[in-house]
Amino acid sequence: METLQYTIRKLIYSIPLLFGVTLIAFTLMVYFGPDLTDSILGKNPTAEQIADVRSELGYDAPFFVRYFMFLKEVVTFDFGSSMSSGEDVRSILARTVPVSFAVALPAFILSNLLGVGLALLAAYHRGGFWDKFVMVFAVVGMSVSYLMIVIAFQIIFSTSYGLNWFPVQGWIDPPPDYPDATFFEIAYYYWYNYWLYVTVPTLASIFVALGYNTRFFRAVIVEELNRDYVRTARAYGIGNGTIMLKHVLKNALIPIATRIIISLPFVIIAGNLLLEKFFGIPGVGLVTYDAITNGDLPVVKAVVTSTAILYVFALILTDIAYKVIDPRITYSK
């Protein structure tokens, strides 16, 4: 019951945030955005035509009217159609979001799992060799540019200068049409191609993210290790392994899980622009990138607003999850 009240309070609190976000998005993209009159009219428009189009696009309307028009689009989630392909923005999103998700998911899971594992290893041996080793590795990971890694991995894995195991770019093509292909054969086809195209991007993502994750996780764990209850556990004969994996981990998971949850919306919908552009993966990122460079406004609007809204909800979710996981907070206030 109390959680429900808390949730409602948080939702209400998020309304100004949503307004703020949409306002900023609107101001930047629409108000200051490109003047679309030319692209619609083409060559040599008459003054009358210009005036018509402008009023149709609402350019003459005052700021807040235009803002409300934008809000209407947001609420109904109808941003119109892409200007380059004419495809309805919603169907574009429906098509590309799953792809981005499929690409981002393995990296997300692995980099967090490995991050926690490495952090535990480092914290357990803090001050010692493994700690330093892991931390150096983490700093290196943090310091390489994403672009560097992507290029390097491409060279190593995908070109003839390296291993040439993986394709340079691309994504799963629809399977060739064998009429008697069994379900398993098709499934295997997808599975095989999925890993064929996803591996190199995933490796690149993990390499970069791991450094940041490990450092943060280790800091959290080490801070827990300095707490009194660890001293108590040791004073009663509990072994170091159990202390790490039972006592410390559960406490450390609270801030760790929070961070993971906060990063989730960007995994789900944003789609890594750089990754997709580079590896030619037809996800949200690539579509957005093309939209940005082509000035394809409806697409950009859709992506920015949906990500922002998702983020706000993710924040609420985090707060609630936080309350549920940590019994102290649930009961004390």
Partner 1 sequence: MSSDTPLLKVENLSVEFRTENGVVKAVDDVSFEVNEGEPVGIVGESGSGKSVTALTLLQLVPNPPGRVTGGRILLDGVDILSKSQSQMRNIRGNLASMIFQEPMTALNPVFTIANQMVEVIRVHQKVSKREALQIAIRMLDTVNIPTPEKCVKQYPHELSGGMRQRVMIAMALSCNPKLLIADEPTTALDVTVQAQVLKEIHQQQSERNMGMILITHDLGVVAETCKRVIVMYKGKIVEEAETEQLFRNPRHPYTQKLLSSVLSMRD
Partner 2 sequence: MDADTTDQSSGTSAGQSLWSKSARKFRRDRFGLASLAIVGLYAVVALGVWLGLWGQGWSTLGEESFAGVSGEHWFGTNLNGQDIFQRAIAGTKTAFEVGLLVAVVSTLIGGFLGAIAGFYSGTWIDEVIMWLYGCIDAIPFYLFVAAIAFALEGFPYAMHVAMITTFWSSTCRIVRGEVIKIRSLEYIQAAHAIGVKPMTIILRHVSPNTFHILLVQGTIAFVGAIKSEVILTFLGLGVKEGVSWGRMLTESTQDVLRGHFGNFLAASIFLFILVIAFNMFADALQDATDPKKISS
Interacting residue ranges for partner 2, rule: CB under 8 A: 16-17, 20-21, 23-25, 27-29, 31-34, 139-140, 142-148, 151-152, 154-155, 159, 161, 168, 266, 270, 273-274, 277-278, 288-289, 292-293, 295, 300, 303-304, 307-309, 311-312, 315
CA dihedral 94, 96, 101, 106 (to 10 degrees): 150
- 239 forms part of the interface with partner 1 (CB under 8 A): yes
- 326 forms part of the interface with partner 1 (CB under 8 A): yes
- 241 forms part of the interface with partner 1 (CB under 8 A): no
CA dihedral for 269, 273, 279, 280, sign (positive or negative): positive
Centre a 10 Å sphere on the Cβ of residue 1 and count the other Cβ atoms it contains.
Answer: 5
Which of 227, 245, 280, 324 touches partner 1 by CB under 8 A? 227
279-289 residues labelled b (16+ CB within 10 A) or e (exposed): bebbbbbbbbb
Q: Which does 235 bind (CB under 5 to 8 A by kind): partner 2, partner 1, none?
A: partner 1
- Nearest-approach distance from CB 36 to partner 2, in angstroms: 12
- Nearest-approach distance from CB 195 to partner 2, in angstroms: 23
- 46 forms part of the interface with partner 1 (CB under 8 A): no
| Residue placing its CB nearer to partner 2 in the complex, 203 or 300 | 300
Q: Which does 159 bind (CB under 5 to 8 A by kind): partner 2, partner 1, none?
A: partner 2
- Nearest-approach distance from CB 251 to partner 1, in angstroms: 6
Centre a 10 Å sphere on the Cβ of residue 74 and count the other Cβ atoms it contains.
Answer: 21
| CA 79 – CA 236 distance, rounded (Å) | 63
Candidates 36-44, 70-78, 244-252, 310-318: pick the segment binding partner 1 (CB under 8 A): 244-252
- Nearest-approach distance from CB 174 to partner 2, in angstroms: 27
- 234 forms part of the interface with partner 1 (CB under 8 A): yes
- Nearest-approach distance from CB 331 to partner 1, in angstroms: 6
| Residue placing its CB nearer to partner 2 in the complex, 33 or 167 | 33
- 129 forms part of the interface with partner 1 (CB under 8 A): no
- Nearest-approach distance from CB 89 to partner 2, in angstroms: 15
Residue type, 313: F
Candidates 177-185, 194-202, 306-314, 325-333: pick the segment binding partner 1 (CB under 8 A): 325-333
Which of 215, 247, 277, 301 touches partner 1 by CB under 8 A? 247
| Residue placing its CB nearer to partner 2 in the complex, 33 or 170 | 33
| CA 112 – CA 118 distance, rounded (Å) | 10
| CA 55 – CA 73 distance, rounded (Å) | 18
Centre a 10 Å sphere on the Cβ of residue 244 and count the other Cβ atoms it contains.
Answer: 19
| CA 175 – CA 194 distance, rounded (Å) | 12
| Residue placing its CB nearer to partner 2 in the complex, 97 or 233 | 97
DSSP one-letter string for 67-127: HHHHHHHHHHT---B-TTT--BHHHHHHHHHHHHHHHHHHHHHHHHHHHHHHHHHHHHTTT
| Residue placing its CB nearer to partner 1 in the complex, 143 or 232 | 232
Q: What long-range pairs does 255-263 form, CB within 8 A, spacing at least 24? A: 255/220, 256/116, 256/216, 256/217, 256/220, 257/321, 257/325, 258/318, 258/321, 258/322, 259/216, 260/112, 261/314, 261/317, 261/318, 261/321, 262/314, 262/315, 262/318, 263/108
- 332 forms part of the interface with partner 1 (CB under 8 A): yes
| CA 156 – CA 144 distance, rounded (Å) | 16
- 232 forms part of the interface with partner 1 (CB under 8 A): yes
Give the residues lining the site for partner 1 (CB under 8 A): 127, 227-229, 231-240, 247, 250-251, 326-328, 331-332
